[in-house]
Chain A
Amino acid sequence: DQQVKQNSPSLSVQEGRISILNCDYTNSMFDYFLWYKKYPAEGPTFLISISSIKDKNEDGRFTVFLNKSAKHLSLHIVPSQPGDSAVYFCAAKEGGGADGLTFGKGTHLIIQP
């Protein structure tokens, strides 16, 4: 059973607009969430993270929102740029846990000129 779900395999957004990538989780023990970006033939690159004690974290054009009651998080990219085209993975972790990161299957974001 998938504990982290990214229900949109792909998303197409026009350059300059907002990109919103969504992620849902089922494990209530998760207390830290991360977003990674992955280009073909490269490993995932850490983008932004959020602890469960917060509901928002911002870093430049990237903002992550966490809704614990809905077990939902989202990544907002504003404004979207061509270099943002990549696969975005949502990941979650239990605090202090040794189980590693649990990943979603990714959303392929395509930024159109």
Chain B
Amino acid sequence: KAGVTQTPRYLIKTRGQQVTLSCSPISGHRSVSWYQQTPGQGLQFLFEYFSETQRNKGNFPGRFSGRQFSNSRSEMNVSTLELGDSALYLCASSLLAGDNEQFFGPGTRLTVL
């Protein structure tokens, strides 16, 4: 069974631009969560999507948004990029919403210049 896939793997943007990251969950998994990993803050929860609905959102500004499609694939968008948005963005999938065990993709490394 294929794992969680994320595209692109690496991305370089400049301040003020916007970016869209994509995540395809494990086949059959319907919940997708997004996390941001930075050296200073570690891994932090961004939001979770289930049945095309955002269930909850972590402590991030409104510039961070996402959506989920009917095939459970999810996209994350960051608008008006700031230098501090440089991070590894990880997507995790689980069978159902709120499941304890989540399976992570390889991440997208975003660098903002």
Contact = CB atoms under 8 A, between A and B. Distances in A.
A107 B64 CA distance: 28
Classify chain A's interface size: 20 to 34
Contacts of A106: 42
A74 interface: no
A32 interface: yes
B45 A34 contact: no
Interface string A26-38: 0000001010100
A41 interface: yes
Interface in A61-113: 89, 91, 93, 96-106
B24 to A, nearest CB: 13
A43 B42 contact: no
Contacts of A43: 4, 6, 90, 92, 104-107
Contact of B98 (A44, A98, A103): A98
Nearest to A96: B98
B43 interface: yes
**Overall SS of chain B's interface:** strand
A100 B48 contact: yes
Contact of B58 (A44, A99, A104): A99
Contact of A46 (B6, B56, B101, B106): B101
Interface in B92-113: 92, 97-98, 100-107
Given A44-B43, A101-B45, 11 more contacts: A34-B100, A43-B6, A45-B104, A46-B101, A46-B103, A89-B42, A99-B45, A100-B48, A100-B56, A101-B33, A101-B102
20 contacts: A32-B100, A34-B100, A36-B104, A43-B4, A43-B90, A44-B90, A45-B104, A49-B100, A89-B42, A89-B43, A91-B43, A93-B100, A98-B48, A98-B55, A99-B45, A99-B58, A100-B35, A100-B46, A100-B47, A101-B102
